[in-house]
Amino acid sequence: MAFLEFHQITKRFPGVLALDGVSVSIERGACHALVGENGAGKSTLGKILAGVYQPDGGAIRLEEKVIHPVSPHAARALGVAMVHQELAFCPNLSVEENLCLGDQPRNAAGWVNRRELRARARAMLAEIGSNIDPATLIGTLSTGQEQLVQIAAAVGTGANVIIMDEPTSSLSLGETRELFRLVRALKARGITLIYVSHRLEEIFALCDAVTILRDGHHVVTEPIGATSPQRIVRQMIGRELLVREPAHLQRSYGAVRLQVENLSSPGKFTGIHFSVRAGEIVGLAGLVGAGRSEVAQAIFGLDPAAAGTVMMHGRALRLGSIRAALAAKSGLVPEDRKRQGLVLSMNCRENSSLAALPLLTRFGWVNRRAEHELAERYAKRLRVKTPSLETSIASLSGGNQQKIALAKWIARECDVLIVDEPTRGIDVGAKAEIYQLLDELAGEGKAVLMISSELPELIGLCGRVLVMREGRLAGELPRAEFSEAALMGLMAGVAQSAA
Ligand SMILES: Nc1ncnc2c1ncn2[C@@H]1O[C@H](COP(=O)(O)OP(=O)(O)O)[C@@H](O)[C@H]1O
Ligand SMILES: [Mg+2]
């Protein structure tokens, strides 16, 4: 009998059957991948094991005993912990306070023993090879560091089953490598891992077996050696993925729509110059911290310290003014869409049409019918999984929230469109739709600048790619010279190229 068994697990949310009789067996000490498109039910299955949700039907067996984790605390007592996709700690407490939450060492008078607290936290961090200062406030940590603290908490409380929910979705390259090392170390100790991700390279690098969920159903569980990336993609989306050559590459481009000259911002980037023509999709590559998002923000008027020239339609833009950028018909789909791009209390329809509304003018009525049509068109296009367009955004899965946020910005009529990591957190099927959508927008004559950390997507979609390194343009590659090695070389500064 398997170490851990989900038997016929069913979970309903209002209007959604999130899991429909899912049965999965997991071997002791395995790193078991859980994959599926956004909304497939991966997080829900993890949360049921971790005591966050109670199933409506079915049973879980751990070492042949039926368990009922009725709360995260109860799950911990059973040796099960989850590293969440969303922030799980109190941001205004310190690392040590968070690590010892609920079990703070006290002296005879009942006061928290600070020194003991720190020593215990430091030991928990050292256990996973981290040297984060225990006194740091959680709110000031990077996502990667916060995840490490969550993992330290899991390991430190003796968890022997750890669920990691899309752990690398907002990590830098270095942080991802660090995490991989840690995952392997945990496995070597005999800890059983359930690894939720839709990044197939990661799954093939780390996991022993893979379970695929689709629309709340169990599709298959296989050893990793018995499958392939193509097979998994097919099983995830239930159809063949069409890979087309982008149409914009076949057309000649129009006039220069966006021209940037000698753009600088103290401490962020220096001497940036490039242009994008109507109908063109230009990529912007670089490592995390290279200054790509900062450049995009400056172009869009979000950086009061920026100096230099930004021209749209041949006319110089007043820098530092979002109003001027919007008036020149430019749009920015920000990277952190959850924080900057969505109004969580609004429903899907309201959110996807939000940016298309003439927000900055105060007159005019909203045409409800047009609004509904627009929302419906994009929701269908990007396969947003929601019971209805009137559903609150907050209850959608993370990837589906991303899709709505993206739809919202793309729906804005604009001539210059900057998209920052447009497919982060989005599954393979929807990614293909987004590429197609961007290609169509270019076909309508928009000038598109795409920032991305995923080299295959830059290589697939762009006519040329600009590379930034440490706040400067390190070079530019035309499509004929695209390769991951060439781009990586420029990003990391190990190769020279004529800029
Ligand atoms: N707390 C919740 N309230 C209502 N619906 C939810 C809730 N959590 C998840 N869902 C719905 O359940 C389905 C599965 O979601 P989830 O498990 O988050 O998917 P995944 O992690 O695979 O992207 C989705 O349709 C999602 O909208
Ligand atoms: Mg999820």
Closest of 50, 51, 140 to residue 93, by C-alpha: 140
The third-level CATH classification (topology) of the domain covering 247-329+414-492 is Rossmann fold (3.40.50)
Q: How far apart are CA 60 and CA 68, in angstroms?
A: 7
pLDDT in tens, 418-446: 999 888 877 777 788 888 889 988 998 99
pLDDT in tens, 477-490: 999 999 888 898 89
Interval 201-219 mean pLDDT: 94
Q: What's residue 261's pLDDT?
A: 97
Is residue 275 within 8 A of residue 310, CB to CB? The reply is: no
Distance, CA 491 to ligand 2 centroid (Å)? 30
Q: How far apart are CA 74 and CA 67, in angstroms?
A: 10
Angle CA(33)–CA(39)–CA(43) in degrees, nearest 5?
Answer: 50
Distance, CA 197 to ligand 2 centroid (Å)? 9
Q: Domain residues of the chain, as ranges? A: 4-237, 247-329+414-492
Q: Residue 226: CB partners within 8 Å, gap ≥ 6? A: none
Q: Per-residue DSSP letters for 62-90? A: ETTEEE---SHHHHHHTTEEEE-SS--S-
Q: What's residue 88's pLDDT?
A: 64
Is residue 126 within 8 A of residue 168, CB to CB? The reply is: no
**Ligand 1 within 6 A of CB of 44:** yes
Interval 400-412 mean pLDDT: 70
**Ligand 1 within 6 A of CB of 13:** yes
Q: Residue 220: what residue type?
A: V
* Most ligand 1 atoms within 8 A of CB, residue of 53, 237, 396, 402 to mutate: 396
Percent of the chain residues past pLDDT 70, beyond the cut: 85
Q: What's residue 349's pLDDT?
A: 55
Closest of 499, 497, 458 to residue 284, by C-alpha: 458
Distance, CA 386 to ligand 1 centroid (Å)? 9
Determine the atom of ligand 1 nearest the C-alpha atom of 213: 22
Element (H, E) at 436: helix 428-443
Is residue 306 within 8 A of residue 269, CB to CB? The reply is: no
145 or 473, higher pLDDT: 473
171-204 burial string, b = 16+ CB within 10 Å, else e? bbeebeebbeebbeebbeeebbbbbbbbbbebbb
CATH topology agreement for domains 4-237 and 247-329+414-492 = yes
Q: Per-residue DSSP letters for 131-150? A: ---TTSBGGGS-HHHHHHHH
Q: Which CATH architecture has domain 4-237?
A: 3-Layer(aba) Sandwich (3.40)
Could you give the dihedral angle defined by the CA atoms of residues 237, 243, 249 and 254, in that order, rounded to the nearest 10 degrees? -20
Cα–Cα separations (whole angstroms), residue 394 to 146, 351, 356, 397, 408: 22, 11, 21, 8, 16
Q: pLDDT at residue 190 above 90?
A: yes
Q: pLDDT band for 340, please (50, 70, 90 cuts).
A: very low
Q: What's residue 1's pLDDT?
A: 78
Distance, CA 154 to ligand 1 centroid (Å)? 24
> 68-72, 235-239, 256-260, 382-386: lowest mean pLDDT where?
382-386
**Ligand 1 within 6 A of CB of 396:** yes
**Ligand 1 within 6 A of CB of 39:** yes
